[in-house]
Chains A and B, each alone.
Chain A
Amino acid sequence: MSTNAITTQKVNFNVFRFNADEDYLPYYEDYSMDVTSEEVVLDILNRIKWDHDGSFSYRRSCRHGICGTCAIKVNGRVTLACKESMTDMIEVFGNELVIEPLSKKRAIKDMIIDKADFWEKHEQVTPYLDTEIDEAPTAENLVTPAQADALDEADLCIQCGACHYACPVVEISDDFMGPAAFAAAYRFEADVRDGNESRLTDVNKMGSGVWDCVKCFECAEACPKEINPIEKIGKLHNMLFQSGKAESNVATRHAVGFEKSIKRVGVLDEGGLVLYSELAGIVKHVPVALKMFSKGKIVPPWGITKSDNLDEIQKLVKSSSTAKF
């Protein structure tokens, strides 16, 4: 029990309401309540239903941050309702709070959304151990602590969807697999017992795969289990290069191009990088490039200021490289 005295303050909740069976458009309803410092967001959802409107709908189950069903958004911030303290919410956003489902366009009723896209994408990465099982083993299959550590806590995912619906690419691109699916892919790729041959290739798809991440870190911020999905996305990129499964395309050349430029001039040769990444595709950049050139925004290759002590950088690139392309 907390040793601090319980405090109470008035909070106005602006709550998203929608019933796909009856409503043409969603609307927002206001509920004003005294909130105590001990409450979590889920308590507020319960009180809306129990004290104000019995038809208010939301998902909840374990109340212990394990089942992953109660994720919603408060003032645009994804949150696991049963874990998030109201005191923290008020501290960040003040006494006017907006309660919304994880994804408004997927709303079925109030906080309840259709999570089908989440599960479909999850399924695409073969999210289970894919291995030959010896049905009559003579010894245990031991995994060493170091091998278990390689999962990097990706196995703690509770599939709540917080990162998925915080991802701006998922919001605008129906095909993008999303951070939760990638974290799951990493979880099994990093498992020594797994023997799946196609998973890494599956996440490597251009136009919906792991290369379309915009590196915004929304997923890292959103995850209630601190799994850091974007770090796993980075590790999948590394695995693709290390396994030799990275095909030559604009995304992979874009990553490799940095090393090439650093080796040559220390800094990034911006124009050179775009040319190396795009090859003939560079033509589509010409209109913008001309505009930039006219404003003095493009430095020709011979005009680039090289890093001082470039020999050090070149030596380090040679001695410290761990990847090949």
Chain B
Amino acid sequence: MGKLKYALFTGCTAKQSTPEQMMSTMAVAEKLDIELIELTEASCCGASHLQDYDDFLSLVLNARNIAYAEKHDLTMVTICNTCQLNTAMTKHRLDNNADLKKRVNEKLEEVGLVYAGTSKITHFLYAIIDDFGLDKLKEMVVTPLSQFNIAPFYGCHNIRPSELQNETHDTPENPYNPSSLDDLIIACGGQTVDYEEKNKCCGFHAELQSPKVAATLTGNAIAGAMDGNADWMVTPCPLCHLKLDTQTGHASHAIGREVSLPVLHMQQMIGLALGCPPETLGMKHHVTKVDFV
């Protein structure tokens, strides 16, 4: 296998409210000898909210981001579930609607770009599973996480809608019984926690307009993991991470029960197992203290 190389769409969160996610992504990529070319020209994906306001504009902007990955002739790797959804959804719609693709390309032409549909778009989690391989990862583990019960939190936008998501990676994932993150935990030597909320919503996208609903969903998720005897949670999505890590006060208040667990980004978990020094994984940026490192 040659060196793996991807175009990295960081998304906005990794550059602002979850710096630890950016740090750990780079640390893990280095350990795994994966080359990531950052798409510094990329705009925000619209996070499924711009789409509510102006669907066509969001298609044009996402197509522009993909066009830059195509220029590198690389698969685009995302590290945020919502970036993954909006980018993959754009690709799906353009690849299946010649007229729409033509209209979007008319706009892109104005800035000298073209969307061809040649680049795959996949989340880093699936790039690791499909392209790098969990067996190989397992062999590289120097600090097995065997003493930990780890609760996977999948995040909606990596698993639903499943028809779209399963176009973006080789390993099939069932949204009602997902396994990718569990498999990753096991490859890192940890014990997985099975709980009802692992494939449920964290509430992030309704946080401003419907804070009570959002906080209840966050609270239920953490409570489910705690009841499953988890030592900590892990997620591939920085938006889920923000809810689970920073909103424990609101979440506890909403469900009438004190809830709090350390929450790691998927990349941080891999980094720990591979022996990356904790400071390169940005643990100090967590609001809920990561007390076991």
List the interface of chain A (C-beta within 8 A of B).
75-77, 92-93, 168-169, 172-173, 176, 206-207, 211-218, 220-221, 228, 234, 237-238, 241, 249-252, 254-259, 261-262, 266-268, 270, 274, 277-278, 287-288, 291-292, 295-299, 304-305, 307-309, 312-313, 315-317, 319-323, 325
Contact = CB atoms under 8 A, between A and B. Distances in A.
A220 B204 CA distance: 18
Contact of B17 (A172, A217, A270, A321): A270
Interface string B25-51: 000000000000000111110111111
B284 interface: yes
B111 A278 contact: no
B208 A278 contact: yes
Contacts of B47: 258, 268
A259 B42 CA distance: 14
Contacts of B51: 234
A259 B50 contact: yes
B55 A234 contact: yes
Contact of B214 (A214, A258, A309): A214
Nearest to A309: B41
B117 interface: no
Interface string B201-218: 101111011101110110
Contacts of A234: 51-52, 55
Contacts of B15: 267, 299, 304-305
A277 B208 contact: yes
**7 shortest interchain CB distances as A-B pairs:** A217-B160, A216-B201, A237-B52, A251-B209, A258-B50, A268-B12, A312-B111
Q: Main SS of the interface on chain A?
A: helix
Given A76-B196, A292-B17, A296-B285, A258 B209 contact: no
Given A274-B208, A287-B249, A323-B54, 13 more contacts: A215-B157, A215-B205, A216-B200, A241-B53, A249-B209, A250-B208, A258-B49, A268-B44, A270-B13, A297-B287, A316-B57, A316-B64, A316-B108
A325 B212 CA distance: 27
Contacts of A168: 200-201, 217
B60 interface: yes
Interface stretch (B122-130, B137-145, B174-182, B261-269): B174-182
A313 B217 contact: no
Interface string B68-112: 000000000000000000000000000000000000000110110
Contacts of B40: 307-308
A221 B199 CA distance: 12
A35 B79 CA distance: 42
B44 to A, nearest CB: 4
